[in-house]
Amino acid sequence: MTALAEPTSPSREEIRAWMERARRRRRMRQSGLALLMLSPSLVIFAVFVFYPFFRNFQLAFYRTPPFPGLPKQWAGVDQITDVLGSAAFRNSVWVTVKFAVLTVPVGIALGLVLAVLAHQRLRGITVYRTIFSSTVATSVAVASVVFLTLLNPQIGLVNYYLGREGAQSLLQDPTWALPMVALVTIWQNLGFTFILMSAALQAIPDEMLEAAEVDGAGPTRRFLRVTIPLLSPTIFFAFVVGTISAWQAFGQIDLLTQGGPGGSHGATNTLTYFVFTDFFERQNEGTAAVLSIALFFIVLGLTLLQLRYFERRVHYER
């Protein structure tokens, strides 16, 4: 607008002032627009991610009164050391580690085997691919209920074919409960792992395998020397993601075993399930907050591992 009313020959200073004004207007407009575009996300993050996250640290220092309504008591680090030193906490960490060890390597191996088998030119192979990836369509809840019935002592097939008729469900057996929960988890994740591994296999250029073949490498050698190394970034990714999700496992525990058998020292009482019961059944937000913080740091460590891997990948590719 200023341009229309411009004097016959404005000085450089004036022109610079106009530009500065235009620039400031542009920046103001962009900043305002950016604020508008970012605020929905920022509000959600502030209220539902950062506030509850930092409040955990505050909650951790107060003991929750035995009856609602009584004032909270400052406990300092005592509560934290109490919880982290407790047998129940150690049990749940140990259970979760075992759970991760049971689910992750086996799940990845199975997914890889299926992906390799389905990665060949055969008539009707798409049907098999669809079947192998089909379990992504099942939620944790669906998978759990499906297996719950297979493991049911009265109507399930498992006890019948294992010759354990009349015996309790394997889910009630302290030795077998965790492996059974792991089995359900592996089955439910199989579709995802299969899709992941198949995509990685398809990304391997045919020339690489052909070059190895020309060099005289047999199928086994080609698989071990070419395919596996090229898949290793994806395998690592699946490993970290699988391990993180093991620490977040909740639905299958709640539906299959409720952390038992064995109460708060239960054979399937994983850390996330422990947080849940501490807060919602025992109503102890103080100790639950300490457990949440522990869970956070464990997952953080795993996430950082994952980030380092991404960094390295970027280096490999560029």
Partner 1 sequence: MGSVVLEEVTKRFGDTVAVDDLSLEVRDEEFLVLVGPSGCGKSTALRMIAGLDDPTDGVVRIDGRIVNHVEPKDRDVAMVFQDYALYPHMTVRRNVEFPLRTRSMDRDERQRVVTEAAETLGLGEFLDRKPAQLSGGQRQRVALARAIVRRPEAFLMDEPLSNLDAKLRVATRTELVELQRRLGTTVVYVTHDQVEAMTMGSRIAILNEGALEQIGPPPEIYRRPASVFVARFIGSPPMNTAAGPVRGEPGALRVVLPGGEIALTPHDSRTVAGSGCSEIVVGIRPEHVTVNDAKDGATADGAAGDASGIPASVLSVEALGYERHVICRLDDGTTMIARISTDGPEPPAHSAVRLGFDTARLHFFDPATTRRIDG
Partner 2 sequence: MSADTSALDSAVSDVATQVSDPVQERRIRATRRRHRIGVVLRYTLLTVLAGIVLFPVYMTVVNSLLPADVIVARPPTLWPEVREWNHYATAWTDGHLGLYLRTSIIVTAIITVGQVATSILAAYAFTFLDFPFRRTIFVVFLATLMVPFEVTIITNFQTISDLNWLNSYQGLAVPFLATGFGAFLLRQSFLTLPRSLEEAARLDGYGHWRFLARVVVPLSRPAIGALAVFSFLLAWNQYLWPLLIADDEQYRTVQVGLKQLSQSNLAEFPITFAGTILAALPLLILLLVFSKQLVRGLTAGAVKG
Applying the rule CB under 8 A, the residues between 15 and 34 that interact with partner 1 are 15-16, 18-19, 21-23, 26
The nearest distance, CB 151 to partner 2, in angstroms, is: 10
Q: Please tell me the distance from the alpha carbon of residue 247 to that of residue 274, in angstroms, as a whole number.
A: 11
Of residues 10 and 179, the one with the C-beta less far from partner 1: 10
Of residues 27 and 72, the one with the C-beta less far from partner 1: 27
Phi/psi of residue 34, nearest 5 degrees: -60, -45
Of residues 10 and 129, the one with the C-beta less far from partner 2: 129
Q: Please tell me the distance from the alpha carbon of residue 111 to that of residue 130, in angstroms, as a whole number.
A: 13
Q: Which residue has the tokens 């539902």?
A: 48
Cβ neighbours of residue 196 closer than 8 Å, sequence gap 6 or more = 111, 234, 237, 238
The nearest distance, CB 38 to partner 1, in angstroms, is: 24
- Please tell me whether the peptide bond between 65 and the residue prior to it is cis, using omega within 30 degrees of 0: no
Of residues 1 and 11, the one with the C-beta less far from partner 2: 1
Q: Which does 55 bind (CB under 5 to 8 A by kind): partner 1, partner 2, none?
A: partner 2
Count of CB atoms situated within 10 Å of the CB of 6: 11
Q: Which does 2 bind (CB under 5 to 8 A by kind): partner 1, partner 2, none?
A: partner 1
The nearest distance, CB 2 to partner 1, in angstroms, is: 7
Radius of gyration of the chain (CA): 28
Of residues 14 and 47, the one with the C-beta less far from partner 2: 47
Q: Which does 53 bind (CB under 5 to 8 A by kind): partner 1, partner 2, none?
A: partner 2
Percent helix, strand and coil across the chain, each to the nearest 5? 75, 0, 25
Of residues 2 and 154, the one with the C-beta less far from partner 1: 2
Q: What angle do CA 219, 224, 225 make, to 5 degrees?
A: 95
Cα-based distances in Å from 261 to 138, 159, 164, 256, 269: 26, 18, 18, 10, 9
The nearest distance, CB 27 to partner 2, in angstroms, is: 7
Count residues binding partner 1 (CB under 8 A): 13
Check binding of 162 to partner 2 (CB under 8 A).
no
Enumerate binding residues for partner 1 (CB under 8 A). 2-3, 6, 10, 12, 15-16, 18-19, 21-23, 26
